Amino acid sequence: MASLDKPPVVTSTVKWRFPAVHPEGYKYVAIAAGITLLLTIVSNVLFWPMVGVVIWVATFFRDPVRTTPQGPGLIVAPADGLITMIQRMPVPRELAGENGLGDAPLVRVSIFMSVFDVHINRTPIAGTIKQVVYISGKFVNADLDKASEENERQHFVVEGRDGQRVGFTQIAGLVARRILGFVKAGDMVAVGQRIGLIRFGSRVDVYLPDDVVPQVALGQRSIAGETVLGRVAGVPVTGVAQ
């Protein structure tokens, strides 16, 4: 007889499928396709390179289905990309204060998204959107730390049912020209729910509460809505590049 203490074994399978294109990308795919047709009239040599551009645009706006871990004390990655920083840093003034994350420094995990990554961003915890603050700015390389203070950006604070608050920031990059939000203050969100996107290269910073231990290592790649970024009272992890 199977032990009642063990979880059931899932025996069903999942098949791979092409990711859908987010509706925000439809017009860009159409524009690229239209330019391709026009250039083909001028020169057939340009046809195949432009077909590649159309495919890349569609790929950029892909919106794959993600399976989000469920469980108490989990903070899930809001973005696909490379973990470029795990360091205690001052909280941005837009996220600080009594109604935000407080005034003490918190561990910041930075995720850099290249133009080849999925750019749909997701909420790291379930709860209520307490703040959404948009700031227009410059478009310096998102891989530079000063991008957190100079670039176009959008801050979010999410409060869970237990009162825990997690802040994260969408930061436009060198070639990004628009940050789009799908939620507003007061909205209820599920963990891993889509909350916005950034067009064409960018970064997302996540500010972990003091009782949360990072579960990723520098140089690791995260998957939005799937990678466990932090865990309450967890054990620190390290990584080896190989």
Q: Is the domain of 81 the same as that of 197?
A: yes
**Which tokens is 53 given?**
């551009």
DSSP string covering 192-218, please? T-EEEEESSSEEEEEEE-TTEEE---T
Asked, for residue 160, whether it belongs to a domain, the answer is: yes
Count how many domains the chain has: 2
Asked, for residue 5, whether it belongs to a domain, the answer is: no
CB 81 within 8 Å of CB 122: no
- Residue count of the chain, please give it: 242
DSSP string covering 125-191, please? S-EEEEEEEEE--B---TTSTTHHHHB-EEEEEEE-TTS-EEEEEEEE-SS---EEES--TT-EE-T
What residues pair up with 167 in beta bridges, in sequence order?
157, 207
Q: Is the domain of 141 the same as that of 186?
A: yes
Q: Is the domain of 56 the same as that of 82?
A: no
Q: Does the pTM of the predicted model rise above 0.75?
A: yes
Instruction: Show pLDDT as tens, one digit a residue, over the chain (242 residues).
Output: 444 555 555 557 777 777 888 888 888 889 888 888 888 887 777 778 888 888 888 888 899 999 999 999 999 999 999 999 999 999 999 999 988 999 999 999 999 998 889 989 999 999 999 999 998 866 555 455 555 566 788 999 999 999 999 999 999 866 656 788 899 999 999 999 999 998 776 899 999 999 999 999 999 999 999 999 999 988 888 888 88
- Give the 3-state secondary structure of residue 86: strand
Q: Which domain holds residue 48?
A: 20-63
**What are the residue numbers of the active site?**
202
